[in-house]
Amino acid sequence: MPKAVMIDPAEMRSRRVLEFKPIPLNQYDRSITDELAAGTFTKADLVRIQRDMMLIRAFEEMLDSVKKQGHYRDIPYNHRGPAHLSIGQEAAAVGQAYLLDTDDHIFGSHRSHGEILAKCLSAIHKLDDRALRSIMDNYFGGETLRVVERGATGDTHDLAIDFVVYGALAEIFARDTGFNRGFGGSMHAFFPPLGVFPNNAIVGGSADIAVGAALFKHVNRRRGMVIANIGDASAGCGPTWEALCFATMDQFKELWDEAHRGGLPLVMNFVNNFYGMGGQPVGETMGFKILARMGAGLTPDQLHAERVDGYNPLAVIDAIRRKRAIIERGDGPVLLDTVTYRFSGHSPSDASSYRDKNEVEAWQVVDPLVTFAANLVDAGVTTQAELDAMQQRVDAIILRAYKNAIDLSISPRTDQKGVRCPLERAMFSNQRVEKLADGTPEVLMPLAENPRVQQLAKRSRSGLDDAGQPLPKQRCIGLRDALFEAIIDRFYADPTLIAYGEENRDWGGAFAVYRGLTEALPYHRLFNSPISEGAIVGTAVGYALEGGRPLVELMYCDFMGRAGDEIFNQLAKWQAMSGGLLRMPVVLRVSVGSKYGAQHSQDWTSMCAHIPGLKVVFPATPYDAKGLMYSALLGTDPVVFFESQRIYDQPELFHPGGVPTEAYEIRLGEPDVKKPGRDLTILTIGATLYRALDAAKELESKHGLSCEVIDARSIVPFDYTKVLESVKKTRKIVLASDACERGSALQTFATKITQFAFDELDAPPVVVGARNWITPADEIEDAFFPQPADILDAVHNHILPLKGYTPKRDCTTTDLRRRSAEGV
């Protein structure tokens, strides 16, 4: 179907000017007395705002003292980890949290202790005793609660305050009883039950994740909004820009069906303290002068951007109230430039030499803790004596938490040295879940009426006829069809499943795997994304962290570089950093190219396999592709699902009867013997399988070597059992894949096989990978990717001389050493 927007040359070429609307800066101008008169706050509300700011300040000052002096209140402690403090930024955090409830979710940065506490305190105030009890009882089996319950004297709300202060601190001190079992630490601590979602030590890392979280709420019609708290210096990060582009796609407001039309419920909040570490965005590293200007470049509504005085909690509350109204009427997302300032250095080791003392002092004069307190007293809301008493209560909370958190007998560290230790178990959630939410999946037609389903019903399920002879490819179910069958089936089962990426909707995916899905699915379940690989993966992370199942696609493996942080630091790490609390059911389809040269044809499976926390599969047959896709889409772990463009139309040649029509799962991690043999094992990853089979044919017919060919199918996890059984029989093994040989997964396989079966081997395992070059043009690609001849050469040179065989290329040890010495 042609696009809805007609690109009219008359309009596009017309002489006009583009006008921008004024961007409000610090417009809030009401006093405490005004607000009391208007009934916006009670006196108790205002005092609570002050208390929350005091509590955050005391918490951060305690950490400052520990880091700089090695003690707090003369009680020594050596905290080895980081502490990026937010002393001075309390009003911005408390003001933001004030109106939020547990359905509103915040994602933050390395400097988010204050935001965590503010959000928790605000939520605690709004929840009743039963709800609080249930949260504390159920969080990691009540382990955190048991610590704070000892000797507790206050009511449930007091207990909950102790709980969050202690939980955050124990996390910072890497204790088992911390919010995330000590696996996250200062920069990554979070507490989902009260709406505090992952804080990110990668600058700008929360931007696209928060967009994905908002996408989840929007698609699945959940309550609440999402706030990304990111620093002013993160405005220069590519992922932040990608996040903003993704969040502002026109389709949300123009193309999605009525029930899902509207902007994402997202506040992109820049916590603008005017510094990176030492770099200064305004005046040095950026050019916007006023950060709020960024909104003007993105949408006609300019993202409703404005600057807010984050040194006045009431101004921030007012802004959140107004922005929430915008979001609730479907006009989000919004951008806030929340002005604040940190008195503390970037980290305790920072001497702040890049800042003029006068500047720090000028901000200290308007310190919100002092000014707001004075205003409260002036307005008759409280008295100095009451504030002093409050300070004492706050200090007592911090001291209690500190004493508990440093005490190893109460707050132990997890033992990570045993077999199946907690961190090992937190790496993957390893669950199987049919559907991640109740409800009926939204689809546009019965599955049986789908044109592609009907078309595939006419194809042969097998690539072989009854006599075992190959059928023409176009008459068979190919690998892309097998993937489609698993995917569409899961779309009819799991209401949270959505798919997106570049060219996903109308092109049916760049390689036609999704052809037929467009007819079946409404826009919000299958859509085109901007060319924002980082945001494609980052939003998937956020969507999954909220409880949904995204299936996202990178058009070419080489583009993974654009999503490096999102794949390697976000997708891979949050399950473990949460202490096993969160799940990451993301399937990331990555197509490995060929024919298109250096930047479109590289196999980066090894890079993914190297990163702990990712499952990595690379099926080479339709049967395996379908079974592995089912497992990936039913699991709860991130799976990087590699597919080779060489074999999208490959029919099934191995599985008897071909590709089953019904659902089935293939366990991730289990290699498959594609051809049995006696004398030599060939282990392959991905599409190299077919070249290895050709090599096996030649080795058998010309050299009498019976070859057993094993398809790894998965790289992580990987069960060596079948390979070791094979090697025990053949005593020889060659490993082949299209990934560059140096540092590859093949090399890891080879080393492990040597280690596990040293006595069974007649020769060391031999690796035949791609050359350590760029991928050359299609016409000369065969010099780069392993060919059958390369496998024979390797066998001849390194395993056993093949009688009468002349190697095609030099692959002697001498040449391998030369190549290594030259880095090629």
Ligand X SMILES: Cc1ncc(C[n+]2csc(CCOP(=O)(O)OP(=O)(O)O)c2C)c(N)n1
Q: Which residue ranges make up the site for Mg ion (CB under 5 A)?
A: 231-233, 273, 275
Work out what residue 240 binds among ligand X, Mg ion, none; the CB cut-off runs from 5 to 8 Å by kind.
none
Establish if 275 lies at the interface with ligand X (CB under 6 A).
yes
Candidates 602, 538, 540; CA nearest to 564 is 538
- Dihedrals phi, psi of 411, to nearest 5 degrees: -120, 80
CA pair distance 120, 255, nearest whole angstrom: 37
Q: Is 138 exposed, middle or buried (0-12, 13-18, 19+ CB in 10 A)?
A: exposed
Site string for ligand X, 34-73 (x = CB under 6 A): ----------------------------------------
Work out what residue 162 binds among ligand X, Mg ion, none; the CB cut-off runs from 5 to 8 Å by kind.
none
Q: Which is nearer to ligand X, 572 or 653 (CB)?
A: 572
- 185, 198, 276, 550: which one binds ligand X (CB under 6 A): 276
- 148, 194, 228, 233: which one binds ligand X (CB under 6 A): 233
Residue 550 neighbours by CB under 8 Å, 6+ apart? 212, 497, 498, 499, 500, 539, 540, 543, 544, 586, 587
Binders in 171-230 for ligand X, by CB under 6 A: 201-203
Q: How many residues bind ligand X (CB under 6 A)?
A: 15
Establish if 570 lies at the interface with ligand X (CB under 6 A).
no
Instruction: Please report where in the chains the tokens 């007012």 appear, as a residue.
Output: 318
Whether residue 131 contacts residue 163, with contact meaning beta carbons closer than 8 Å, is answered with: no
Q: Which is nearer to Mg ion, 233 or 476 (CB)?
A: 233
- Dihedrals phi, psi of 531, to nearest 5 degrees: -80, 70
Distances (CA, A) of 220 to 185, 489, 550, 635, 767: 31, 19, 12, 20, 47
Q: Which is nearer to Mg ion, 232 or 309 (CB)?
A: 232
Work out what residue 203 binds among Mg ion, ligand X, none; the CB cut-off runs from 5 to 8 Å by kind.
ligand X
CA pair distance 513, 675, nearest whole angstrom: 28
CA pair distance 76, 148, nearest whole angstrom: 21
DSSP assigned state of 682:
E
Site string for ligand X, 327-366 (x = CB under 6 A): -------------------x--------------------
- How does DSSP assign 477-527, residue by residue? -BHHHHHHHHHHHHHTT-TT-EEEETT-SSSSSTTSTTTTHHHHS-GGGEE
- 212, 231, 478, 622: which one binds ligand X (CB under 6 A): 231
Identify the active-site residue in 113, 188, 346, 600. Answer: 600
- 105, 111, 119, 218: which one binds ligand X (CB under 6 A): 111
Closest contact distance (angstroms) between CB of 693 and Mg ion is 57
Candidates 327, 322, 526, 337; CA nearest to 442 is 526
Q: Which is nearer to Mg ion, 40 or 280 (CB)?
A: 280
- Dihedrals phi, psi of 499, to nearest 5 degrees: -130, 140
Question: Is residue 600 flagged as an active site residue?
Answer: yes
Establish if 374 lies at the interface with ligand X (CB under 6 A).
no
CA pair distance 691, 673, nearest whole angstrom: 15
Instruction: Please report where in the chains the tokens 């960024």 appear, as a residue.
Output: 294
When CB distances to ligand X are compared, the closest residue is 231
CA pair distance 652, 620, nearest whole angstrom: 9
Work out what residue 510 binds among Mg ion, ligand X, none; the CB cut-off runs from 5 to 8 Å by kind.
none
CA pair distance 29, 717, nearest whole angstrom: 59
Of 252-260, 268-276, 476-484, 665-673, the window that binds ligand X (rule: CB under 6 A) is: 268-276
Q: Which is nearer to Mg ion, 231 or 635 (CB)?
A: 231
Closest contact distance (angstroms) between CB of 93 and ligand X is 12
Whether residue 497 contacts residue 216, with contact meaning beta carbons closer than 8 Å, is answered with: no
Closest contact distance (angstroms) between CB of 722 and ligand X is 41
- How does DSSP assign 434-451, residue by residue? S-SSSSPPP-SS-GGG-H
Closest contact distance (angstroms) between CB of 342 and Mg ion is 8
Q: Which is nearer to ligand X, 337 or 643 (CB)?
A: 337
Establish if 404 lies at the interface with ligand X (CB under 6 A).
no
Residue 11 neighbours by CB under 8 Å, 6+ apart? none
Closest contact distance (angstroms) between CB of 769 and ligand X is 31
Of 54-62, 108-116, 549-557, 641-649, the window that binds ligand X (rule: CB under 6 A) is: 108-116
CA pair distance 155, 745, nearest whole angstrom: 56
Closest contact distance (angstroms) between CB of 275 and Mg ion is 5
Q: Which is nearer to Mg ion, 275 or 749 (CB)?
A: 275
Q: Which is nearer to ligand X, 23 or 233 (CB)?
A: 233
Establish if 234 lies at the interface with ligand X (CB under 6 A).
yes
Footprint of ligand X (CB under 6 A): 109-111, 201-203, 231-234, 273, 275-277, 346
Catalytic residue numbers read 600
